[in-house]
Amino acid sequence: MRVQLMARRKVWFSISGALVLVSLLLLVLRGLNLGVEFTGGSLLDLTFERPVGTREVRRMLEEFGLGGAIIQRDVREPRRVFVRVPPLDGEERKRLMTALQESISPLLSDEVRTVTPIISRELVRNAAIALALASAAMIVYITIRFEYKFALVAIAALLHDVIVTLGLFSFLQVEVGAPFVAALLTIVGYSINDTIVVFDKIRENLRGTRKSVWTVVDESVNQVMMRSINTSATTGLAILAILLFGGKTTREFALALLAGVVAGTYSSIFLASPLWAVWKQREERVGWRRLRRSRRRR
């Protein structure tokens, strides 16, 4: 099957534009469900002897002035509840645990994680620095190996993948923690690798040919498309297994990674290469116009 990539470039650009626009709107209107690592506070992982509801837990918390706490029930284990509250000192935490056991049900297990606002701000800053450094290093590498147009287009595709993944998490309101940052960095590495494969084939096919840029891009993408899809499908199946059968600690990472692999495969094939071809074609047209003007002046 041969895909008419450049002939339908407006379709691919429209799909990507719509995904990015919807994702940005979701981020503005709904935001992200930031975990304790980013907001600071205490996360209580509580398992009671009997199934409990979020309402009865909230009523108990209101007596301690914690009515605004975020309470989530484990869908697989009705006795397990996750409660996110402002930072609690040792005495406050002890009194709260005692009250929960006396008013609701004895606790089979209780785990508390506390992150101060200082640590959470440092994590956000470090995550932003890591993404910025990774992007800068990739721009330098791709510019040296190919050209700066390839580099800027590749970064545009990466931004597309990251924004779409963020939009999905905003829509699902899945809690975002430190594993999500690791997943984003992994997505950046995986997506750029897929894009480089396509760019390398384009550069190879451009050597010694008189074909138009659009024809070369169409041929190059069709030559490597099934390889990219098969590689991503194999990776996606492994990630899907982790998502379905892994524990809670790996679910957030696996979901972000799966979304990023799908978005990255799409952007590498249907976004990055057509963008470069359109840019290159316009540059050549401008060059021909300048050449004609210079000849006329002579």
pLDDT of 243: 85
Q: Which domains does the chain have, with CATH numbers?
A: 9-35+119-287 (1.20.1640.10), 41-115 (3.30.70.3400)
pLDDT of 298: 56
Cβ-based neighbour number of residue 203 at 10 Å: 15
pLDDT of 289: 55
- List C-alpha distances in Å: 293 to 172, 281, 284, 290: 56, 19, 14, 5
Helix or strand or coil: residue 3?
Answer: coil
Answer for the pair 43, 113: CB distance below 8 angstroms, yes or no.
yes
Residue type, 31: G
DSSP state letter for 211: S
pLDDT in tens, the chain (298 residues): 577 778 888 898 999 999 999 999 999 998 888 777 677 778 888 888 888 888 888 888 888 887 767 788 887 788 888 888 877 777 888 888 888 888 888 888 888 877 666 556 777 788 788 878 887 888 888 888 888 888 888 888 988 999 999 999 999 888 787 788 888 888 888 888 888 888 888 888 888 777 888 888 888 888 888 888 888 889 889 898 888 887 666 788 888 899 989 998 899 888 888 888 888 888 766 555 554 555 555 5
Quote the CA–CA distance of 23 and 31 in Å, as a whole number. Answer: 10
pLDDT of 247: 65
CB neighbour class for 249 (10 Å; exposed up to 12, middle 13-18, buried from 19) = exposed
pLDDT of 166: 92
The residues near 129 (Cβ < 8 Å, ≥ 6 apart) are: none
First-to-last CA distance in the chain? 50
pLDDT of 291: 47
Quote the CA–CA distance of 188 and 160 in Å, as a whole number. Answer: 11
Angle at the Cα of 72 (from 69 to 74), degrees rounded to 5?
155
